[in-house]
């Protein structure tokens, strides 16, 4: 429980992007972009673009909320950083 409390307080827990081959390993407390399934990635992209959470897959939103990437139908700062890192990785490729 203490670990969960420290995660909620500290939003600066994104590790820098490290590339192993062409794999994106931007990690937020053990969750990397490639660990997310396509529906979860799509939900993060849609929410980051300002689209309503109603257009996202419900199961994906529940999973993202459980790992702390979505709160109240909006991205947390950590999720936004994860999204930005994934975009920068794709642009650099």
What's the pTM?
Answer: 0.69
Q: What is the DSSP string of 17-43?
A: P-EETTEE--EETTEEGGGS-HHHHHH
In the chain, how many H helices and how many E strands? Answer: 4, 6
pLDDT at residue 31 greater than cutoff 90 = no
How many structural domains does the chain have? 1
**What pLDDT is attached to residue 44?**
95
Distance between CA atoms of 52 and 38, rounded to whole angstroms?
18
**What pLDDT is attached to residue 29?**
59
Domain residue limits at 57: 2-92
For the segment 52-66, what is each residue's pLDDT rounded down to a tens digit? 999 999 999 999 999
Q: Are the C-beta atoms of residues 81 and 32 closer than 8 Å to each other? A: no
Nearest CA to 42 among 54, 29, 57?
57
Average pLDDT, the chain: 76
């Amino acid at each position: 429980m203490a670990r969960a409390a420290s995660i909620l307080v500290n939003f600066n827990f994104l590790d820098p992007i490290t590339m192993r081959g062409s794999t994106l390993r931007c990690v937020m407390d053990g969750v990397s972009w490639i660990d997310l399934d396509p529906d979860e990635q799509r939900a993060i992209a849609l929410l980051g673009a300002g689209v309503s959470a109603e257009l996202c897959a419900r199961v994906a939103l529940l999973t993202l909320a459980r790992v702390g990437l979505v709160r109240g139908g909006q991205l947390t700062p950590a999720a936004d950083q994860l999204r930005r890192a994934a975009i920068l990785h794709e642009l650099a490729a």
